[in-house]
Amino acid sequence: MRLESFAAAVLLASTLAAQSKSGACDRACLEAFVDRYLDAVLAHDPAKASIAKNAKFTENGQKLDIGDGLWNTMDAKGTYRLFVTDVDAGEVTFLGSISEGKAPAMIALRLKVANRQITEIETFIQRSPSSAQGFERIGYKWTDPIPPSERMSREDLIKVANMYFTGMQQNDGKGVYPFADDCNRIENGGFTTNVPVAAGKQRPDPKTATGYSSNWGCKEQFDSGLLHFVTRIRDRRFVAVDPERGLVFSFIFFDHSGGDTRNFETPDGRKVTAGPAQLWTWQLAELFQIQKGKIHQIEAIMERAPYGMPSGWSDWESGLSDRGRDVTGKDTSK
């Protein structure tokens, strides 16, 4: 009896410890913060979300007071919910569908959690009903763990994801492109790789095409050298890594500088002019599923932003640099 109550007391104590502010926040704990946060936004009430007093909040690259922006306009959560949960770094990122002003939209969300409180909130809303509807229609996967023996290190996962950006920036078809044969990409709710050729249309031939085609696979697109007009992929912030599932989440910007940067040569020596003629920057949240060093799946939401805009989380030099940065706070390569 005495022993039993002692055991019960120990059990109680350990439960309390798990819930205490200093206890580690595991996958379920971190992911619960996302729902708690979204529910608070939905209620237009920051007090409901366990937000630390000095927490920093940005929406689409702009620092705002907590309670401003989407806090005034979100009216429902959606069914698309893809997490990249980084227990080691205390970061949880989320790509999901929502409704705002009665219109479907996508959100990329990053929360940093310390001592069971949210200390950083980074949001990127992509305001396009068709994108949110597309993601919900396609659905998500990659919640299955990768066998422990096949898991890659955090550094290697980031390295492979960064090769994607390096291969696309001023793409010349001559780089090393770490794509698996089944690689697919979804951008703003639609497939932009391996799209079946429409009836009556011909599959463009990379040897003669002057623009890359969504009928092609990931590697075929990069091998074509036709993405050259992406002049600069900058402020490459890798914000969450999940080695268990092989997932990497990043926020970046694609600059298209127009002018002479539109003129380039394909790997087989053809002179091509392609890309936006007027200045164009995409702000993106992009995530990768990587196994055995190869990219299997890419998902991105992207919205046009003023050319050269920074993320709100980098100094000016880092914001304009094309260097990949592990900003999870768990950079073990240092």
Partner 1 sequence: MKTALVIAFALAPAAFAQNTKAAPCDRACLESFADQYMDALIAHDPKRLPLSAKLKNTENGQRLEPGDGFWRTATAKGKYRLFVDDPQTGNIALITTMTEANVPVSIAIRLKIENRQIAEIETFTVRTGLSSGTGAKELETLASPNPLFLQTIPATERASREDLIKTANMYFSALEKNDGKGNYSFFADDCERLEDGQQTTHNPNFRTGSGFAAAPAGRGGRGGEKQAAPPPAGFNPALLGCKEQFLSGYFHFVTRIRDRRFVAVDTERGLVFSFVFFDHAAGKYRDYKMSDGTEASNGPTRPWTWELAEMFKIERGKIRRVEALLDQVPYGMLSGWSTWDEGMSSKPR
Return the number of the residue (104 or 167) whose C-beta is nearest partner 1: 104
User: Does 307 engage in binding with partner 1 (CB under 8 A)?
Assistant: yes
Single out the residue of 86, 91, 100, 122 in contact with partner 1 (rule: CB under 8 A): 100
Contact of 330 with 154, CB cutoff 8 Å: yes
Closest among 221, 289, 204, 247 to 92, alpha carbons compared: 247
Return the number of the residue (215 or 257) whose C-beta is nearest partner 1: 257
User: Does 23 engage in binding with partner 1 (CB under 8 A)?
Assistant: no
Return the number of the residue (189 or 243) whose C-beta is nearest partner 1: 189
Provide the b/e sequence for 277-293 (b: ≥16 CB within 10 Å). Answer: eeebbbbbbbbbbbbee
Closest among 170, 183, 167, 187 to 218, alpha carbons compared: 183
Give the binding range for partner 1 (CB under 8 A) out of 15-23, 146-154, 243-251, 254-262: 254-262
User: Does 189 engage in binding with partner 1 (CB under 8 A)?
Assistant: yes
Single out the residue of 29, 84, 247, 305 in contact with partner 1 (rule: CB under 8 A): 305
Residue with tokens 């463009």: 204
Q: How far is the CB of 282 from partner 1 (least distance, A)?
A: 8
Q: How far is the CB of 128 from partner 1 (least distance, A)?
A: 4
- Identify residues 313-332 at the interface with partner 1 (CB under 8 A): 316
- Identify residues 124-163 at the interface with partner 1 (CB under 8 A): 125, 127-131, 134
Contacts of 89 (CB under 8 A, 6+ apart): 240, 241, 328, 329, 330
The end-to-end CA distance of the chain, in Å, is 53
* Angular region, 227: left φ>0, alpha ψ -120 to 50, beta rest: alpha
Contact of 92 with 113, CB cutoff 8 Å: yes
User: Does 68 engage in binding with partner 1 (CB under 8 A)?
Assistant: yes
Residue with tokens 């390569």: 333
User: Does 274 engage in binding with partner 1 (CB under 8 A)?
Assistant: no
Contact of 297 with 323, CB cutoff 8 Å: no
User: Does 191 engage in binding with partner 1 (CB under 8 A)?
Assistant: no
User: Does 15 engage in binding with partner 1 (CB under 8 A)?
Assistant: no
Return the number of the residue (308 or 329) whose C-beta is nearest partner 1: 308
Lookup: tokens for 218: 């990931």
User: Does 50 engage in binding with partner 1 (CB under 8 A)?
Assistant: no
Binding residues for partner 1 (CB under 8 A): 44, 59-65, 68-70, 72-73, 100-103, 105, 125, 127-131, 134, 187-190, 257-261, 277-280, 282, 302-310, 316
